[in-house]
């Protein structure tokens, strides 16, 4: 698509070009969103296509040619529809040059949360492969510009669910890993810990909901299920041929604390891996942030973590504070 800089900055706040590549990924005959065409003689966008109207072959060819030349636009008010579509074909986000960073983040958020929900519901090879594929796209996006992680941190979920927690913990954990690795960051390691962070509570997701929601005392068998869910989650990943220790440690150690008070193995100090320590801190941070009533601010949540410094690596807490306080609250 030719970059003609056709519209003014003011119009660009309301519309964005849609590439022929992305347009061709929609259903051929009925598109779910309105389209606009740029008229050079009046330098304005005017309606071209109304959502769900039928497109005949001639109109399809015309539309493809116009979009290839950079004349077709989408209203930003239709972004939720657009984002929902791209979230199912996440690789398209890497070729769309017209989305704002916050719009790209929303697409990733929707896509990865849905992929985690699908995998938690059915932890089998096909759902794992879809999640892995989307995570690799996230890694590729962050690898091009690691500072983009800040945009993700500004748009975490505010409501509790296991998939929402997985997304929040995944993004927070990746930010921590990027911060701690500095110039030693490797794309392969980012992908490995990414998979662990986004699936860390797989074992808990496999426990029946009535047990998780139970108000009265749990039976010994139910207590055992809760206590061993980190190990059981890692077992499921191993059965799906995930063998990288950096990934599995996220699941195995996300409830371990450096003072030895965690579970299931009561690890302490240096016995806890970097990946496990990051996941434990990222999980606790987001649990405090989402579940607090009334809702705490980020600063209040970090202050609370500071009071629990005997449970977490001091350097990791300092990194978390630096990421959120120094960067996001300027």
3-state secondary structure string across the chain: CCCCCCCCHHHHCCEEECCHHHHCCCCCCECCCCEEEEECCCCEEEEEECCCCECCHHHHHHHHHHHHCCCEEEEHHHHHHHHHHHHCCHHHHHCCCCCCHHHHHHHHHHHHHHHHHHHHHCCCHHHHHHHHHHHHHHHHHHHHCHHHHHHHHCCCCCCCCHHHHHHHHHHHHHHHHHHHHHHHCCHHHHHHHHHHHHCCCHHHHCCCHHHHCCCCCCCHHHHHHHHCHHHHHHHHHHHCCCCCHHHHHHHHCCCCCCCCCCCCCCCCHHHCCHHHHHHHHHHHHHHHHHHCCCCCCHHHHHHHHHCCCCCCCHHHHHHHHHHHHHHHCC
Same domain, 40 and 139: no
Q: What pLDDT does residue 9 have?
A: 55
Report the candidate in 252, 254, 300, 246 with the shortest Cα–Cα distance to residue 278.
Answer: 254
207 within a domain of the structure (yes/no)? yes
Residue 10 has pLDDT above 80, yes or no: no
> Average pLDDT of 182-192?
95
> Average pLDDT of 83-94?
88
Q: What is the pLDDT of residues 166-185, one digit of tens each?
A: 999 999 999 999 999 999 99
- The whole-angstrom separation of Cα 118 and Cα 127 is 6
Q: What pLDDT does residue 96 have?
A: 82
Residue 8 has pLDDT above 60, yes or no: no
Same domain, 152 and 250: yes
Beta bridge partners of 35: 49
88 within a domain of the structure (yes/no)? no
| Phi, psi for residue 212 in degrees, rounded to 5 | -65, -30
Q: What pLDDT does residue 79 have?
A: 85
Q: What pLDDT does residue 161 have?
A: 96
Q: What is the pLDDT of residues 11-39, one digit of tens each?
A: 666 898 888 888 888 988 999 999 999 99
Average pLDDT, the chain: 91
Same domain, 304 and 237: yes
Q: What pLDDT does residue 313 have?
A: 94
Same domain, 162 and 67: no
Per the CB < 8 A criterion, the answer to whether 167 and 114 are in contact is no
Structure tokens at 153: 């941190």
Domain final residue pick, 79, 110, 141: 79
72 within a domain of the structure (yes/no)? yes
Q: What pLDDT does residue 22 have?
A: 87
255 within a domain of the structure (yes/no)? yes
Same domain, 57 and 134: no
Residue 3 has pLDDT above 70, yes or no: no
Residue 327 has pLDDT above 70, yes or no: no
Same domain, 196 and 284: yes
Per the CB < 8 A criterion, the answer to whether 15 and 7 are in contact is yes
More reliable by pLDDT, 299 or 123: 123
Domain final residue pick, 47, 79, 111: 79
Same domain, 58 and 131: no
Question: How many domains does one find in the chain?
Answer: 2
86 within a domain of the structure (yes/no)? no
Same domain, 153 and 249: yes
Q: What pLDDT does residue 330 have?
A: 54
Same domain, 226 and 269: yes
> Where residue 293 sits, what CATH number does that domain have?
1.10.3210.10
Report the candidate in 224, 292, 289, 228 with the shortest Cα–Cα distance to residue 255.
Answer: 228
223 within a domain of the structure (yes/no)? yes
235 within a domain of the structure (yes/no)? yes
**Range of the structural domain that residue 33 is part of:** 9-79
Q: What is the pLDDT of residues 112-170, one digit of tens each?
A: 999 999 999 999 999 999 999 999 999 999 999 999 999 999 999 999 999 999 999 99
Q: What pLDDT does residue 272 have?
A: 98
Same domain, 198 and 129: yes
Same domain, 279 and 241: yes
Q: What is the pLDDT of residues 243-288, one digit of tens each?
A: 999 999 999 999 999 999 999 999 999 999 999 999 999 999 999 9
Q: pTM for this structure? A: 0.88
Domain final residue pick, 44, 79, 114: 79
Same domain, 19 and 160: no
Q: What pLDDT does residue 11 have?
A: 61
4 within a domain of the structure (yes/no)? no
């Amino acid at each position: 698509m030719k970059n003609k800089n056709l519209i003014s900055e003011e119009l660009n706040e309301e519309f964005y070009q849609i590439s022929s590549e992305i347009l061709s990924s929609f259903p051929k005959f009925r598109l779910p969103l309105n389209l606009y065409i740029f008229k050079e003689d009046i330098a304005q966008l005017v309606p071209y296509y109304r959502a769900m109207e039928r497109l005949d072959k001639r109109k399809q060819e015309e539309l493809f040619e116009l979009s290839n030349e950079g004349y077709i636009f989408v209203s930003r008010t239709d972004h939720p529809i657009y984002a929902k579509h791209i979230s199912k074909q996440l690789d398209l986000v890497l070729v769309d040059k017209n989305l704002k960073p916050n719009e790209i983040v929303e697409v990733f958020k929707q896509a990865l949360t849905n992929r985690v929900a699908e995998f938690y519901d059915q932890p089998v090879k096909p759902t794992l492969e879809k999640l892995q594929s989307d995570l690799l796209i996230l890694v590729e996006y962050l690898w091009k510009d690691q500072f983009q992680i800040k945009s993700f941190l500004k748009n975490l979920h505010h409501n509790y669910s296991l998939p929402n927690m997985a997304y929040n913990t995944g993004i927070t954990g990746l930010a921590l890993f990027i911060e701690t690795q500095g110039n030693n960051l490797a794309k392969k390691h980012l992908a490995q810990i990414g998979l662990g962070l986004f699936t860390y509570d797989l074992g808990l997701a496999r426990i029946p909901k009535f047990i998780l929601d139970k108000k009265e005392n749990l039976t010994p068998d139910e207590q055992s299920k809760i206590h061993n869910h980190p190990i059981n989650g890692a077992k499921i990943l191993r059965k799906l041929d995930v063998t990288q220790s950096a990934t599995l440690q996220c699941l195995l150690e996300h409830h371990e604390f450096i003072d030895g008070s965690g579970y299931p193995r009561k690890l302490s100090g240096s016995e806890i891996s970097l990946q496990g320590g990051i996941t434990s801190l990222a999980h606790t941070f987001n649990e405090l942030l989402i579940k607090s009533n009334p809702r705490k601010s980020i600063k209040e949540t970090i202050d609370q973590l500071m009071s629990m410094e005997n449970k977490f690596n001091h350097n990791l807490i300092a990194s978390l504070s630096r990421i959120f306080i120094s960067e996001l609250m300027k």
